[in-house]
Structure 1
């Protein structure tokens, strides 16, 4: 996921969408330097502003993740799905070659291990989603 963070965000934007009529209420929050660092790291990880992080976090107390985190997990599931499709194509090609020659392809075990890792990655992402 880290290597994809530099690319475009598929499902979100950094700031919250504009609200018709604007937002009239303002809340000031004072934080210590340590708290500011923690908020900055969390906001950077989610690729949102600190105000958006605070609003989403507070308004989603019943959920296990903020809407931004949920969108990021869904985007990651799409990336994993594309990767799995590419790996399955390799498995099909190896199976065809194995059936034709009767010899086990040398990359087959590594490819099947990649399939297992991908399945575990999918399980982890699904576990992160609150149902």
Structure 2
């Protein structure tokens, strides 16, 4: 059964020319969101590009995120942390590798560098750091 429009209201939305949603599927809950100017601009452009109102765009994006359990904010944050750790471990390995090359050069010249034990220990820590980050990455798959 179709509900007749109220007096003064038309069955079509004046801005889009579309028919309004049936009364049973109307959204009854209100959620206010605070945005800074950059967020407002980016979301408004994205909504316009997808030919949706900003509230409709936010609902669709939020529901898509809620339905995608593999890409929740916590998982994405964990991925970012893991990537940051891998980059840090890579830098650490580069520094340790440089030290190892200097020690190798000194040993090949007949010297006995005092830092040898410290560098070998640093290599072991760097390898353990990379291994731990790799293990975390493999556990997520």
TM-score for both structures, normalised by structure 2: 0.50
CA distance in 2, matches of 1:66, 1:18: 22
- Aligned equivalent of 2:136: 128
- List alignment gaps of at least 5 residues for structure 1: 1-14, 28-54
* 3-state SS of 1:66 partner: helix
- Aligned equivalent of 1:69: 78
CA distance in 1, matches of 2:87, 2:59: 37
**Number of residue equivalences:** 86
- Aligned equivalent of 2:59: 24
Which is higher, the Rg of structure 1 or of structure 2? 2
CA distance in 1, matches of 2:59, 2:126: 46
CA distance in 2, matches of 1:124, 1:98: 31
* 3-state SS of 2:94 partner: helix
Specify which structure has the bigger relative contact order, considering alpha-carbon pairs within 8 angstroms and separated by 6 or more residues. Answer: 1
TM-score for both structures, normalised by structure 1: 0.54
CA distance in 1, matches of 2:119, 2:43: 46
- List alignment gaps of at least 5 residues for structure 2: 1-38, 48-56
- Aligned equivalent of 2:118: 110
1:9-59: per-residue Cα shift (whole Å, max 9, x none)? xxxxxx9x848323126x9xxxxxxxxxxxxxxxxxxxxxxxxxxx67x72
* 3-state SS of 2:58 partner: coil
- Aligned equivalent of 1:97: 106
**Runs of 4+ deviating beyond 6 Å:** none
Residue 125 (structure 1) shift: 0.8
CA distance in 2, matches of 1:97, 1:71: 39
Q: 1:82 aligns with which of 82, 91, 100?
A: 91
